[in-house]
Structure 1
């Protein structure tokens, strides 16, 4: 298998262009075409349906693309491991974090690690929990810190902290004027939510299902800060992490609804299930997390 051809194919698909792939990889365009053609010959299948006006990956191309990403991720990890072994706590760690963890919890963890191991380069990707878990499956990331349950195959997770979910309401919302509140008052309301795939959205859906709440409208915003700001502006209610509210100075938006019981979720460390795939740097990072949060790791 020609790994250079595989890398060229993945880059071309990512950029949706042979020209951009040649520029990024510093290859001539004929070389890019040759690499992809040789890969198509190897699999005896057309991987990219291309014409002067379009670039579209085929179904078999999609299969090869997903596996190629995994293979290249494993190779990159092996190179990092060899480098780390030869240079002792140098190299890289690729860390993924869900938005709540990445924006409000991870920075202090990184500071503690960087103080101890300044020669290790830290690369952080922040996305919703589902995307982080998927990236770990594909070996694009070494370790993830996410919220909510981890159900994807091939992953191991360890809870490291608990987080409370709370209702926040605009300052001048009529709900604040009700002397005797009931479920009826939160029916047919506009709710502000994170996107599907985020741990916060999963908790909102669970809360609404548990209490049979029917929203008038659901507005989706792809960031925690955006959700809080939307509530401040009076756009609607939300069900969000206390960690987010306290770190954005929005405690005045909290409204204690006696008929909605407190709900909690966990923040978890996520790694590939096969512990042998962890580099020394990742093991040290996880060990530091274990010391910080008094975790017992198997």
Structure 2
């Protein structure tokens, strides 16, 4: 059933005029007539006996009019109840996020969530992916947003956003000036990376293994910002999320290596495997994330 057509019909009958109804509804007169014609086709009856000099609602038209008013009232009431339900959600939600997600992606989500559910207190814990997954296993968090695939017992993960890994190097590094670098140009260099347990650190290890790269030295720093700053200071190269590079103003440090295939991963939503253990406040956050990411998460 076309609720817009029902609304148009009720307005036409209330105003006893197609012209007045079109102005009130901000519709063209042909559109108003089209809605009424569709209803008449649907019910297989004449709803309004109209001519240039008269406007008469038929008996079946009166029946549809009364029922339409009931339906529209019910729809309005339902909408008000839903809005009231959202606005009256209370309590808190405890979200865990890996550094990349928590520092650069989560804040915009939190803004929208807070606007929709102002009665919910939000607590965010940022740590590496392994730590967040452990906290979820211990039921210390309502949900997690982490990097990479999750296979921890009792947890269920779903990807919600694709991410690409890129290499950055100091401005004066030799790689910045090579036009056709090879794997040999990456050997025996100093690399700066994230700690063990982080999604970024895992991607770094995968890169070393895939291309048989042998670093001269590896420096580990426990934050994305720290890694970027170390590269800017000329300490060494790094493999980082494109998201991090963009948000930290390090795009001019990117090194394009044609021999390397794009290294991609997903950011994942992680929740308890048992749906009954997911709080209502966490579920409405997941619904918001679904709308934004266009992934089916629940």
TM-score by length of 2: 0.70
Superposed, which structure 2 residues align to 1:52-67 within 5 Å? Answer: none
Superposed, which structure 2 residues align to 1:265-276 within 5 Å? Answer: 265-276=265-276
Q: Identify the residue that residue 111 of structure 1 maps to in structure 2.
A: 111
Q: CA RMSD in A?
A: 1.3
Q: Identify the residue that residue 285 of structure 1 maps to in structure 2.
A: 285
| 1:162-194 superposed Cα distances (whole Å, 9 cap, x missing partner) | 000000010000122334321111000000000
Q: Identify the residue that residue 129 of structure 2 maps to in structure 1.
A: 129
Q: Is the 8 A contact 2:161 2:268 kept in 1?
A: yes
Mapped to 2, the partners of 1:142 and 1:232 lie a distance apart of 37
1:163 paired to 2:152:
no
Mapped to 2, the partners of 1:277 and 1:88 lie a distance apart of 21
| 1:111-169 superposed Cα distances (whole Å, 9 cap, x missing partner) | 00000111100000000000000000000000000011101111001100000000001
SS at match of 2:255: coil
| 1:14-49 superposed Cα distances (whole Å, 9 cap, x missing partner) | xxxxxxxxxxxxxxxxxxxxxxxxxxxxxxxxxxxx
Q: Identify the residue that residue 184 of structure 2 maps to in structure 1.
A: 184
Superposed, which structure 2 residues align to 1:7-46 within 5 Å? Answer: none
- Residue 297 of structure 1 and its aligned partner are, at CA, apart by 3.4
Mapped to 2, the partners of 1:247 and 1:116 lie a distance apart of 26
Mapped to 1, the partners of 2:237 and 2:202 lie a distance apart of 16
Mapped to 2, the partners of 1:199 and 1:153 lie a distance apart of 18
Mapped to 2, the partners of 1:284 and 1:245 lie a distance apart of 31
Q: Identify the residue that residue 228 of structure 1 maps to in structure 2.
A: 228
- Residue 199 of structure 1 and its aligned partner are, at CA, apart by 0.2
Mapped to 2, the partners of 1:259 and 1:198 lie a distance apart of 26
Report the structure number with the largest CA radius of gyration: 2
Q: Is the 8 A contact 2:286 2:297 kept in 1?
A: no
Mapped to 2, the partners of 1:248 and 1:268 lie a distance apart of 22
Mapped to 1, the partners of 2:278 and 2:179 lie a distance apart of 56
Q: Is the 8 A contact 2:180 2:258 kept in 1?
A: no
Q: Is the 8 A contact 2:96 2:144 kept in 1?
A: yes
Q: Identify the residue that residue 143 of structure 1 maps to in structure 2.
A: 143
Mapped to 1, the partners of 2:254 and 2:297 lie a distance apart of 35
1:251 paired to 2:225:
no
Mapped to 2, the partners of 1:147 and 1:177 lie a distance apart of 32
Q: Identify the residue that residue 120 of structure 1 maps to in structure 2.
A: 120
Q: Identify the residue that residue 174 of structure 2 maps to in structure 1.
A: 174
Q: Identify the residue that residue 73 of structure 1 maps to in structure 2.
A: none
TM-score by length of 1: 0.70
1:219 paired to 2:216:
no
SS at match of 1:171: coil
| 1:75-132 superposed Cα distances (whole Å, 9 cap, x missing partner) | xxxxxxxxxx9x9410010000000000000000000000011110000000000000
Mapped to 2, the partners of 1:297 and 1:178 lie a distance apart of 43
Superposed, which structure 2 residues align to 1:198-217 within 5 Å? Answer: 198-217=198-217
Q: Is the 8 A contact 2:160 2:297 kept in 1?
A: no
Mapped to 2, the partners of 1:244 and 1:179 lie a distance apart of 25
